[in-house]
Structure 1
């Protein structure tokens, strides 16, 4: 489930500040070329003396740049070999990218997250909000590398609260180590925490003296600035699905963990070129999912086309586990990117099992919070999207619950219904593996069957 949750309105204008990939070694190479330019300039006033000085400049420039890169990378060291059944990579080094989502108010911190020893990666995001007190409110901490902690400290404000908004291992694992970097911060966690195959207490993960987040709790120290709504459903399967949504009133921003995603056309900046190129190679998974076509074995050259292919393959494996065709991923990728959606895995294995509770949760969010942007914990953010876009992503619940929009109070909500049908559509061929997995898990009792549904009418504008 970690990989799945590590886990888009169809117009690209929904996406704001989309990440673009860049060559991570460019600063080092630029420094080398600057040194070489000094060496190649014609010397004046003598050969031997200036040639030696030029060579020294070249060596000094290259050595200085190499040292700078080495020092920067040393700040990215983080050892992690834990996680069942697959440990979460990268195992030794994690780069942190910080962006300002709302000037002076909200910052996003992203790192790469890989599934075990595979070439499948995505980004994992921590969101930091500056409160009126001047302190920081940290949502879903990431690995506390030296680089990450330095980027937090550069905001010039103390960390007051650390929030774990879900039960998911990929977010839980970093709360304890992150909190030890800010020992004065208070920790709040989503209710009904659990782990599998052993249901270990939070203390095992290094999380101590944590308070529990409650639904629509007005007693939290940030309640006048940030509101919260809890989705807690015990009926999913081996454990409950728990996620807490937050609304920052000042900036009209909705924060979720895994409820919705927006797959960007280009890979997030934090994903390394090495990971993208490894995914672009035609390995065993590509052969299995090639639909019988011949799979070429030529070496993968580092260029934008191969990096893009690697990203598209990563996305399809994250969303579908076994997509229909990894050899030529573009068609399926195009259908899944650049729009607000519920991840196929979350939709199939979680939300379709408890549609009543999910519907009540999202209706409450859309009714009470007039957000204009959404920040999830994975893929693109911030997303320029409002209530209609959010409801459209959950249009699949209508069929599960037997709902019909017979009393729509406005044209915008009717449009939401039509838009939602398109946003909820996933390529049937790509869904086959996931559907088979769902049937198997139901047969062995690991997850529940989808409920029969209920009749209901809309009662809000």
Structure 2
């Protein structure tokens, strides 16, 4: 989600293939160039949110990270690809592993930054142990030596590697990760595309991939993990595609970007130097200060400034240009500690195809009795069920001008009340995003927001 929107696409897509200089099979496509990049410092703390966890009887939250004595070589991964901006860190990615459901589900996380800026958050890979004894990998992250060792410590072979979306920030790691486990089958979401060049999967190092189909009973994991595909019409230059999964034994819903839960405190894996950099009253703060005088005050390293940096990061990730970076507290409080649809995804994607999204979400809520949700960004796992998911998507009812009669009346009332809170975004913060939406519509880059269900 740190991959903020490009001026012509709701999710930026890759222009070049990913590179791991530790992988002899990796390839580089593009012009030669020379860069001097400063690697990020290794973190000494675990990336353990400790904020939203499954109930005590359903899982553990022990976090394991590679030993600091291993050095930065174990965390080396070279990536400067992406369009219109690259995704960092460029040279060094620390990995943590958290056991979300004891003996069954593990979360692997790395920091992900926006280009050369100090704005960053986490990106998550989820690994599920199947009854066969093999591992099912959802949304792979950068296959550093540390990451691969943490996977191998689980003591089970990787059987399946799954790309649940078309989005660049997840696609770029699938090829390099799969080469570390050559016996694993690779499965990808349908209708893959990229921009500005619509490149084949092979360009990204993804070969012999099988295509995920909606509610497909023939997938080799169908008895344990079910799937539902959201494959929308064109929302602009390409379709939005995301596959949701349901692990029946643990009652866990896996999504990529459909929903998020912003934690109150910054994840400990985020570099404190970047938190402090965001806490400085730089140019962005001076521009987005609601006309108030901005002082150039020194920033000392303390919890208050780290928190300010985190709040500013979040608002920039969610809104692109929030109304008041100088005093982010009020807007951050409105957006954190609740299950929501990201404002960018809501405005530039889901509002364009609400009928398709409504059918997808209602199918998930109707068929799957989940009690936790694991997204690919921000907090996870999230203790949430059907009511919380429907509340996050309550804005669709307003767009479609109707409510489904298939929902029980009491559930509908509860969802409506929760939805007003989950769907409320501060109007002043939405102005930049709304203006961008209007511009993209005017130049034909995205569709108009739909109002009313087609009959």
State the TM-score bracket (shorter-chain normalisation): 0.7 to 0.9
Q: Name segments (4+ residues, structure 1) moved above 6 Å.
A: none
Distance in 2, matches of 1:455 and 1:437, equals 26
1:235 counterpart residue number: 234
Answering whether residue 315 of structure 2 is matched by residue 330 of structure 1, we say no
Q: Distance in 2 between matches of 1:129 and 1:405?
A: 34
> Residue 373 of structure 1 contacts residue 382 of structure 1 at CA under 8 Å; is this kept in 2?
yes
Hey, what does 1:176 align to over in structure 2? 175
Alpha-carbon distance in structure 2 between the residues aligned to 1:76 and 1:389: 37
Residue 234 of structure 1 deviates from its aligned partner by: 2.4
Point out the structure with the larger helix share: 1
3-state secondary structure, aligned to 2:227: strand
* Rg comparison, structure with higher value: 1
Greater relative contact order (CA < 8 Å, ≥ 6 in sequence): 1
Is the contact between residue 6 and residue 113 of structure 1 (CA under 8 Å) also seen in structure 2? no
Q: SS of the residue aligned with 2:99?
A: strand
Q: Measure how far apart 1:13 and its partner are.
A: 11
Contact residue 96 and residue 148 of structure 1 kept, 8 A: yes
Query: Is the 8 Å Cα contact of residues 130 and 136 (structure 1) preserved in structure 2?
Result: yes
CA offsets 1:223-279 (integer angstroms, 9 cap, x no match): 000000000012211000000000000000000000000000011122111221111
Alignment-derived partner of residue 190 in structure 1: 189
SS at match of 2:187: strand
Q: Is the 8 A contact 1:290 1:325 kept in 2?
A: yes
Q: How much does 1:70 deviate?
A: 5.7
Output one character per residue of 1:176-220: Cα deviation in whole Å (capped at 9) or x when no partner. Answer: 011111111110000000001110111111100100000000000
Q: C-alpha displacement at 1:356, in angstroms?
A: 0.3
Q: Within 1, Cα distance between the matches of 2:215 and 2:274?
A: 41
The alpha carbon displacement at 1:455 in A equals 7.9
Task: Find out whether 1:148 has 2:147 as its counterpart.
Answer: yes
Of 240-249 and 281-290, the range deviating more from structure 2: 281-290
Distance 1:299 1:208 in 2: 51
Aligned to 1:413: 412
Matching of residue 252 in structure 1 with residue 251 in structure 2:
yes
The equivalent residue for 1:35 is none
* Contact 1:77/1:92, CA 8 A, preserved across alignment: yes
Q: How many residues align?
A: 407
Tell me the residue number matched to 2:440.
441
- State TM-score, norm by structure 1: 0.85
Unaligned runs of 5+ in 1: 28-67, 457-461
- In structure 1, the residue matched to 2:426 is 427
> Superposition pairs for residues 181-220 of structure 1, below 5 Å?
181-220=180-219
Residue 3 of structure 1 is matched in structure 2 by 4
Pairwise mapping of residues 55-94 of structure 1 onto structure 2 (< 5 A)?
69=68, 71-94=70-93
- Structure 2 unpaired stretches of 5+: 13-48, 56-60
User: What is the aligned partner in structure 1 of residue 99 from structure 2?
Assistant: 100
Q: Structure 2 CA distance, aligned partners of 1:95 and 1:127?
A: 16
Q: Do 2:321 and 2:432's aligned partners in 1 also have CA atoms closer than 8 Å? A: yes
